[in-house]
Amino acid sequence: MLLPPIRELRARLTQPGAHAALVEEVLAAATLPAAAHAYTALLPELARAAAAAADTALAAGRPLPPLAGLPVTVKDLYDIAGRTTMAGSVLREGAAPATADAEAVARLKRAGAAITGLTAMSEFAFSGVGINPHHGTPRNPCDAALARIPGGSSAGAAVSVALGQAVAALGSDTGGSIRIPAALCGLVGFKNTQARTPLAGAFPLSFTLDTVCAMARCVDDCLSVDALLAGAPLVVQRRALAGLRLALPQTVVLDALEPAVATAFERTLQRLSAAGAAIVPLALAELAEIGQINAPGGLSAIEAWGTHQQAMQTQRERFDPRVAARIALGAGVTPAEHLAILMRRRDWIARVTQRLAGFDALVCPTVPITAPPIAELVASDDAFFKANGLLLRNTFTVNFLDGCAFTLPCHVPGELPVGLMLAAPCGHDAALAGVALAVETLLNGD
């Protein structure tokens, strides 16, 4: 089943018990083979209570909160009171249960969301692939013939939405963990400016880069959830495509595009140009500096090492070996070196922001490849790390910029999903949303 956009679904749920019936349908679907490994836990009592509250309010003629009784999933790195937050790892077994909900979860609950389950993820959110050797890897619903990766780290989040088991999925984005799986599964993902949404109660990967955000089936639904997570809606003005200036970087982001991605991306650029948008090539050579600025180790590895140092030194064999290898890159980096990265990054952000002045958005493929087969990446470290690097390459530029970005599906029926990324500097979320709505309308043929 595929769920319609939130506004349309809300208009349909008018009969007595409609919310309860929807939640039961979703909970049943979550146990079917197509959803294997997508969830680390189902939360039927929590979901049924929210659905019952929505049906009661509807019967009494009371106003419904924005997500009343609608199925939403939560990535298993957010605290839920009374449960141990596993963050995709067996190392969390036996840890104390959370004493309170993460702030993002609390806000979803206050909006009436029926939280149906906790979704699977790469261990400690440290991979763009979505493979998890501890709990299994959910299959990307885009291909019935071949088991492909869902993307990560918000792997189960994407699968839950793509299968129609949630109107939205709460995930996180440190280097692309919302946008990568959304792109590979044919969904819309919104990585907001980091400071817009609260990190309290989210298990950290990188305090500098982690962003609380969500994915859904359309831009409007992403904005609706963002408004709840942030505590205030963006003031969005819908834009016309005619007159938009979109920067097309010529450095890094167009390298080594898989033919299917190149075809879909070029076709989309042609449609945007025909609709009156100006696609302006921009050298943006600063993108090639990221690796040097982020050395040694990289912010994610350095800050993950700070979180996991003791476990890495005493229980490394219990980690996903590929995650452990990435965390280990942060070992031995001194506080002075960490500070130097942060200072270099601040200067880089200022320079890139200046380069993007006068543009409505940056445009590029979200990821340069389509979803590879799971088996190939499980079997080979070389194939895994090559794919992981490619998947994170374009999306990470926005996290490093402390910017905001949408991914929109730009493939056509019969093709594997391809994402189009629209991005802007820090704090430009509202303006970018107006651009994303305009581009989405074109891509949908509306």
For residue 296, cis peptide bond before it (omega within 30 degrees of 0): yes
Which residue has 């595009």 as its token pair? 257
Active site residue 75: yes
Residues facing 216 on adjacent strands? 168, 188
Q: How far apart are CA 141 and CA 2, in angstroms?
A: 12
Closest CA to 269 of 260, 259, 280, 258: 280
Q: Please report, for residues 168, 180, 190, 220, 332, the alpha-carbon distance to residue 403 in angstroms, rounded to integers and kept in the order given.
A: 22, 16, 11, 20, 29
- Name the token pair of 292: 């040097």
Residue type, 251: T
Q: Which one of 75, 89, 206, 300 is the catalytic residue?
A: 75
Q: Which one of 89, 122, 153, 160 is the catalytic residue?
A: 153
Reduced to 3 states, what is the DSSP secondary structure of residue 289?
A: helix
Cα-trace Rg, the chain: 21
> Which is it for the CA torsion 159, 160, 161, 163, positive or negative?
positive
Closest CA to 41 of 92, 111, 100, 3: 92
Q: Which one of 89, 154, 177, 206 is the catalytic residue?
A: 177
Cβ proximity of 397 and 409 under 8 Å: no
Reduced to 3 states, what is the DSSP secondary structure of residue 421?
A: strand
Q: How far apart are CA 377 and CA 385, in angstroms?
A: 8
Cβ proximity of 299 and 341 under 8 Å: yes
Q: How far apart are CA 420 and CA 439, in angstroms?
A: 10
Element (H, E) at 409: strand 404-409
Closest CA to 402 of 368, 361, 366, 352: 352
Give me the DSSP letters along 14-79.
-STTHHHHHHHHHHHHTTSGGGTTSEEEE-HHHHHHHHHHHHHHHHTTPPPPTTTT-EEEEETTB-
Distance of CA 376 to the CA centre of its chain: 23
Active site residue 224: no
Active site residue 89: no
Q: How far apart are CA 89 and CA 316, in angstroms?
A: 12
Annotated catalytic residues are: 75, 153, 177
